[in-house]
């Protein structure tokens, strides 16, 4: 049951990591020195502007702790399930038969002990997940550090691009600063919108929405809402699908007014409000995607480490383990690479799955697969240990 139960564990841990990521981004937003940011932009000092954003790895401390906690919980769960699997395995027959010795070849003085399915001294082996194991510690610490480093570098590089693009477009320092940091909601007092926390492609979506609404071109503005096919039928799922649809009637009225020769009725403040809501919805989606992807990866890494520890304790070699790849999530929008891997089995905990594109992965959600194979992946791994291996 472990394989299916691990999926339930992912569902349990997922919201916790999502909330931790959102909290980290909220901390980054609160830490922006807006006055220093605007002052640096007025002086054309991009480095000083980046410093004013205070994008630091320390903001993700809670996120790192949550990843570590999830790793420990998943490892402990996997160890418990491995213990159950071990106890359910057929026990070695210890019936003693009369020994037959050769009169010519004397038996060795101290023959090697055969593999056994019982713990030394009798009883069953109890597997416990050891988070202090140097290998386990290094794996989760390194993985968490790489993720945090990636997020911070991404935010800095994206901010630099937005600043450069803003100057190139002739935007003023206050406009650029607000586009980066977001706007203060007069009711909640919190910053809304901005680019902090978004991926670079998502920043492009926000910029696209603003440009289209500002364009005064009915065709461009309609692209925010969606499009029609060649037969004039509405195409579901088109447009900026994460937009706040409460603004749709207002955008439609603006398009109709412009089509009649009237000026664009959408004010700059109103467009800023619309794009801010869109940005926040994109951020929420990104937090969900990151949490799902990173949680699945962490759980599979923890199971792999728990399995290594169990094999070590049981005195079994890597070859005692058989691993399988199971594709889940249906075939619509599925990765062809993963569909091809469904049902594939390999032997050995250190043996890699070879995907059709040449990618090597120890298990589904292995970080070695990158976003190409891991982002929002629903595949799961299966494993069987031959506890009687070598007997």
Tell me: the pLDDT tens digits for 210-231?
999 999 999 999 999 998 888 8
Q: Please report how the helices 134-168 and 200-215 are oriented relative to each other, as an axis angle in degrees rounded to 10.
A: 20
CB distance 175 to 166 below 8 Å:
yes
Q: Please, what is the average pLDDT of the chain? A: 89
Spatial distance between the Cα atoms of 201 and 58, rounded to a whole number of angstroms: 25
**Contact between residue 258 and residue 216 where contact means Cβ atoms under 8 Å apart:** yes
Bridge partner residues of 183 (DSSP): 192
Q: Which pLDDT score, from 0 to 100, does residue 113 have? A: 54
Extract the runs of DSSP E, i.e. beta strands, from 6-149.
Answer: none
Q: How confident is the model at residue 118 (pLDDT cuts 50, 70, 90)?
A: low
CB 240 within 8 A of CB 209: yes
Using 50, 70 and 90 to split pLDDT, how confident is the model at 31?
A: very high
Q: What would the two tokens of residue 151 be?
A: 């997020």
Give the model's pLDDT for residue 4: 67
* φ, ψ at 287 (rounded to 5°): -60, -40
Average pLDDT over residues 15-27: 96
CB-based contact 221:215 (threshold 8 Å): yes
User: What angle (nearest 5°) sits at the alpha carbon of residue 107, between those of residues 106 and 112?
Assistant: 155
Residue 305 has pLDDT above 70, yes or no: yes
Segment 58-71, tens digit of pLDDT? 999 999 999 999 99
pLDDT at position 190: 83
pLDDT at 191: 84
Residue 100 pLDDT > 60, yes or no?
no
Flag whether pLDDT at 91 surpasses 90. Answer: no
Q: For position 8, what pLDDT does the model report?
A: 87
Confidence of residue 1 (pLDDT cuts 50, 70, 90): very low
Residue pLDDT, tens place only, 364-378 = 999 999 999 999 898
Confidence of residue 334 (pLDDT cuts 50, 70, 90): confident
Q: Once rounded to an integer, what is the mean pLDDT over residues 116-142?
A: 79
226: phi > 0 → left, psi -120 to 50 → alpha, else beta; which?
left
Two structure tokens written together for 284: 């929420």
For residues 70 and 20, is the Cβ–Cβ distance under 8 A?
Answer: no
What separation in angstroms does the CA of 217 have from each of 136, 163, 258, 261, 283? 57, 26, 8, 11, 28
Measure the CA–CA gap between 191 and 184, rounded to whole angstroms.
Answer: 4
Residue 120 has pLDDT above 60, yes or no: no
pLDDT for 367 equals: 93
Q: Is 357 exposed, middle or buried (0-12, 13-18, 19+ CB in 10 A)?
A: exposed
* CA distance between the termini of the chain: 26
55-64, 92-101, 104-113 — which one is most confidently predicted on average? 55-64
How far is it, in rounded angstroms, from Cα 207 to Cα 175?
Answer: 13
The pLDDT of residue 228 is 82
Q: How far is CA 391 from CA 5, 13, 106, 136, 244, in A?
A: 30, 39, 24, 29, 64
Residue 298: what pLDDT? 94
Q: Is 70 exceeded by the pLDDT of residue 26?
A: yes
Give the start-end residues of each E strand in the chain: 183-184, 191-192, 321-326, 345-347, 353-354, 360-361, 380-385
- Residues of the chain with pLDDT > 90, as a percent, come to 79
- The DSSP result for 228-290, as a single string, is B-TTS-B-TT-S-TTS-GGGHHHHHHHHHHHHTTPPP---HHHHHHHHHHHHHHHHHHHHHHH
* pLDDT value of residue 116: 52
Cβ 288 vs Cβ 18: under 8 Å: yes
Q: Which single residue is written with the structure tokens 């619309």?
A: 274
Residue 49 has pLDDT above 70, yes or no: yes
Find out whether 251 and 265 touch, Cβ atoms under 8 Å. Answer: no
- C-alpha 72/C-alpha 67 separation (Å) is 9
Mean pLDDT over 101-130 rounds to: 62
Residue 148, token pair as written in the block: 């945090």
Residue 106 has pLDDT above 80, yes or no: no
Confidence of residue 2 (pLDDT cuts 50, 70, 90): low
Percent of all residues in the chain with a pLDDT value above 70, rounded to a whole number: 90
Residue 169 DSSP SS3: coil
| Res. 326: pLDDT tops 70 | yes
């Amino acid at each position: 049951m472990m394989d299916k139960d691990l999926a339930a564990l992912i569902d349990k841990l997922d919201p916790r990591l999502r909330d931790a990521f959102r909290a980290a981004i909220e901390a980054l937003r609160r830490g922006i020195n807006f006055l220093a940011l605007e002052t640096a932009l007025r002086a054309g000092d991009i480095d000083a502007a980046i410093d004013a954003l205070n994008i630091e790895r320390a903001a993700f401390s809670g996120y790192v702790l949550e990843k570590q906690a999830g790793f420990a919980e998943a490892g402990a769960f996997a160890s418990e399930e491995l213990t159950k699997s071990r106890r359910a395995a057929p026990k070695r027959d210890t019936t003693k038969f009369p020994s037959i010795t050769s009169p010519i070849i004397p038996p060795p003085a101290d023959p090697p002990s055969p593999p056994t399915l019982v713990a030394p001294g009798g009883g069953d082996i109890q597997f416990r997940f050891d988070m202090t194991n140097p290998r386990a510690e290094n794996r989760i610490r390194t993985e968490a550090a790489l993720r945090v480093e990636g997020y911070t570098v991404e935010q800095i590089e994206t901010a630099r691009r937005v600043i450069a693009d803003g100057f190139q477009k002739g935007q003023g320092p206050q406009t650029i600063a607000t586009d980066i940091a977001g706007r203060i909601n007069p009711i909640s007092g919190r910053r809304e919108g901005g680019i902090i926390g978004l991926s670079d492609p998502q920043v492009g979506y926000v910029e696209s929405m603003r440009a289209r609404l500002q364009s005064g071109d009915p065709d461009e503005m309609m692209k925010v809402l969606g499009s029609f096919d060649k037969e004039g039928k509405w195409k579901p799922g088109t447009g900026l699908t994460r937009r706040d649809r409460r603004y749709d009637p207002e955008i439609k009225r603006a398009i109709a007014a412009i089509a009649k020769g009237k000026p664009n009725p959408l004010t700059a403040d109103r467009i800023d409000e619309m794009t801010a809501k869109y940005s926040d919805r994109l951020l929420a989606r990104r937090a969900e995607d990151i949490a799902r992807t990173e949680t699945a990866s962490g759980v599979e890494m923890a199971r792999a480490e728990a399995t290594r520890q169990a094999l070590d304790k049981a005195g079994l070699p890597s070859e005692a383990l058989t691993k399988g790849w199971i594709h889940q999530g249906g075939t619509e929008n599925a990765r062809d690479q993963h569909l091809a891997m469904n049902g594939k089995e390999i032997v050995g905990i250190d043996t890699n799955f070879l995907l059709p594109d040449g990618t090597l992965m120890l298990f589904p959600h292995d970080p070695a697969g990158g976003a190409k194979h891991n982002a929002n992946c629903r595949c799961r791994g299966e494993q069987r240990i031959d506890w009687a291996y070598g007997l």
